[in-house]
Amino acid sequence: MILGIDVGGTRTDAVCIAGREIVASAKVLTGSDLVESIIGVISALAIDCRQLSRVVLSTTLSTNAIVESKYPRTGMIVSAGPGIDPHHFFLSDDFYLVSGAMDHRGREFETCRPAEVAAVVAELKQKSVTGVGVVSKFCTRNHAHESQIHELIKSDFDYISLGHLMSGSRNFPRRINTAYYNTAVMPLQERFVGSVKKALMELGINANLRFLKADGGTYMDAAAERLPVETIMSGPAASMMGTLARANSRETVLVLDVGGTTTDIGALVDGAPLLEKGISVGGRKTLVRGLNTRSVGIGGDSVVAVVDGELKIGPRREGPPVCLGGKLPTPMDALRVLGDFGEGDAAAAYQALAGLAAPLKREVDELAREIVRLTASSIHAAARRYIDELNAQPVYTIHELLHAEPVRPAKVILVGGPASYLQKYVAAAFVEPVEVPERPEVTNALGAALARTTGQITLLADTQLGRLTCPELDLVMPVDRYCTLEDLKKMGIEALNRNIAVLGLSPNAQFDVVEEHSFNMVRGFSSTGKLLRVKIQTRPGIIREWSQSC
């Protein structure tokens, strides 16, 4: 049996799966102690805990710590070399710039000075800092400086994050943010993993523990302690994966997650969510791979107002709908008046809408219909913009420009609280069929329970310099000039298999090569080597036990 738990801001949901059956589900209110909420929801499931083989958690722990700046003072040691002034990327006074520079091929042109690093260490220790991130520009090409600094400081700090281990992607400012946040939430994650393990043990659960990541994949607890930053924004990922489990098709699906304040728009393409190389948290961009989603300020509780004689919905939310005790009219009140939503005070909703209808000289029923129509058409317009943006993303080869398939959804899946009440109105706005999955309340927990493990690595071979690197696996090795793209892919898959535990992957993970490039290097008029680049990943998706049984 697999247990999926989604610890949300207000509610903690759990779902227990056996094969393709949901054998139990439960919810509790999320308290201030997340571990207690987890124990509470497991108890509420009333299942035989000894039967569990896997527990998957999706939490807001690291996201909230970052957004609310509730993390310990964290130091950063950065080496950059020329470019944009790196001081622009410093988030606090605990960021230090040291000597050392690599160029875009990873050739050192300024050495790292140990004495400078020692001075920074002394200062950070004076400030009682226990966690430090180390990032150098172009470390994904050559991480020698990061490793050198690591050697110099490893006995002085409890928590250290090295830039090249965060991601193989090129983006120095994002790498700084990523390493900083990762270090910042390490102590918190470590305590959390410890307490959860202890609690599970006490409940008689002897199962492996996984965490849901922003990309809709999971990883093992040990990897989560090393790279906690990957768990940010796992809530939307849980919802998307849950929807994928329900959709269970390889068609292109547009997913609309309608909440109280906002609607999140995303897409499922070929049986996997659409990903983005780096997502934002707390207003800062990172290299954490996440879902490609857009949020629009329109939801079930958005304030409906009349501005210059025109109806306007959102982006503000001022508490619950009037029918549920709020003060200002919302689309939910319109749905209440129309009878689509059956809970709460119908008379209060009618009164609230009447207040808007009078100055517009309209009937209340007619206004209610217009409000839901406008809500649906605004969501539709935002969804169109999202699809247009996806199809306007730049490409870099003639082949892609001429032959890339545009994203065209075959259907729309509507999830979230108001989904079922809004369905027929949203369906009227779209040409594509609009579906609402069954039991929407367990979608997130289901997504956590059923997500596959994911990880990715980047391999670069520069045969002129005779060097092969894989930043995520901390790998540097010599390579000869006969190395081909095929060799590199083979080496990458072997390296992945050797490092399954490091990346927190499941032993039966399947790998895909997602990017491969080969460039001849020509200097003067002769070929001097090749630059080979490969990205290998395990695709986010739903575990086979679930997806194959239907």
Partner 1 sequence: MLKARHATGLVFFPAYDWEISPTHPERQERLLYTQDQILEEGLLDIEGLHEFKAGLASEADINRVHFCVPDVAHLTTTSHFISAGGCIEAARHVLEGDVERAFALVRPPGHHAMRVVQGGRGFCNINIEAVMVEWIRHHYPRIKRIAIVDTDCHHGDGTQDIYWHDPDVLYISLHQDGRTLYPGTGFPGEEGGPGARALTLNLPLAPGSSDEVFLLTVNELIRPVLDEFQPDLVINSAGQDNHYSDPITNMAFSAGGYARLTELLNPDICVLEGGYSIEQALPYVNTGIILALAGLDYSYLREPDFDPYKLKDKQQNIDYTKQLCRMQLKRWRDRPGRPAEARLVTRQRNIYYDTDSISENQDETFRLCPKCPGTIRIDSSVDYGPHALCIHLPRQACAACRAQAREWFESAGSNFSAVYFQDQERDEFIVRKR
Out of 270, 406, 522, 549, name the contact with partner 1 by CB under 8 A: 522
CB neighbours of 84 closer than 8 A, spacing ≥ 6?
173
Burial 28-46 (b: 16+ CB within 10 A, else e): bebeeebbebbbbbbeebe
Pick between residue 103 and residue 225 the one whose CB is nearest to partner 1: 103
DSSP-based three-state secondary structure for 516: strand
Angle between helices 346-360 and 364-391 (to 10 degrees): 90
Judged by CB under 8 A, does residue 88 bind partner 1? yes
Given the structure tokens 């059923």, which residue do they identify? 450
Task: Name the phi and psi angles at 109, rounded to 5.
Answer: -125, 5
Q: Is 406 in the site for partner 1 (CB under 8 A)?
A: no
Q: How far is CA 267 from CA 237, 383, 386, 409, 411, in A?
A: 12, 10, 9, 8, 10
Contact stretch for partner 1 (CB under 8 A) within 152-160, 167-175, 184-192, 290-298 = 167-175
SS3 of residue 19 by DSSP: coil
Using the minimum distance from each CB to partner 1, give the nearer residue, 31 or 406. 406
336-395 residues in contact with partner 1 (CB under 8 A) are 392-395
**Given candidates 31, 82, 114, 433, which one binds partner 1 under the rule CB under 8 A?**
82
Site residues for partner 1, 243-302, by CB under 8 A, read: 285
H/E/C letters for each residue in 452-503?
CECCEEEEEEECCCCEEEEHHHCEEEECCCCCCHHHHHHHHHHHHHHCHHHH
Q: Which of 138, 181, 211, 546 binds partner 1 (CB under 8 A)?
A: 138
Q: Give the DSSP letter of residue 102.
A: E
**Count residues contacting partner 1 (CB under 8 A)?**
42
Closest approach, Cβ 259 to partner 1, in A, equals 26
Q: Binding to partner 1 by residue 85, rule CB under 8 A?
A: yes
Minimum distance from residue 459 beta carbon to partner 1 (Å): 16
Residue 355, φ and ψ in degrees, nearest 5: -60, -35
338 exposure class (CB count in 10 Å sphere: 0-12, 13-18, 19+): middle
CB of 515 to partner 1, least distance (A): 12
Binding of partner 1 by 528 (CB under 8 A): no
Nearest to 13 by CA among 301, 198, 190, 238: 238
Interaction between residue 92 and partner 1 (CB under 8 A): no
Which residues, listed in sequence order, are joined to residue 276 by a DSSP beta bridge? 290
Segment near partner 1 (CB under 8 A); pick from 78-86, 145-153, 345-353, 420-428: 78-86
Collect all residues with Cβ–Cβ distance below 8 Å to 427 and sequence separation of at least 6: 433, 434
Q: How far is CA 308 from CA 145, 305, 312, 533, in A?
A: 61, 10, 10, 57
Task: Tell me which of 43, 64, 171, 547 binds partner 1, using CB under 8 A.
Answer: 171
Binding segment for partner 1 (CB under 8 A), chosen from 20-28, 55-63, 221-229, 514-522, is: 514-522
**Nearest approach, Cβ of residue 398 and partner 1 (Å):** 5
Instruction: With residue 357 as reference, give the H or E element that holds it.
Output: helix 346-360
Complex with partner 1: residue 35 or 390, whichever CB lies closer: 390
170 binds partner 1 (CB under 8 A): yes
Per CB under 8 A, the list member of 126, 202, 308, 399 interacting with partner 1 is: 399
Q: Which stretch binds partner 1 (CB under 8 A): 136-144, 147-155, 178-186, 371-379?
A: 136-144
Which of residues 401, 477, 501, 514 is near partner 1 by CB under 8 A? Answer: 401
Closer of 394 and 478 to partner 1 (Cβ): 394
Question: Would you count residue 507 as binding partner 1 (CB under 8 A)?
Answer: no
Residue 301 is classified by DSSP as T
Please, what is the minimum distance in Å from the beta carbon of residue 292 to partner 1?
15
Q: Which is nearer to partner 1, 141 or 246 (CB)?
A: 141
Q: Give the whole-angstrom CA distance, residue 505 versus residue 440.
A: 29
Nearer residue to partner 1 within complex by CB, 342 or 394? 394
| Site residues (vs partner 1, CB under 8 A) | 81-86, 88, 101, 103-105, 109, 137-138, 141, 169-174, 285, 392-399, 401-402, 517, 519-522, 524-527, 531
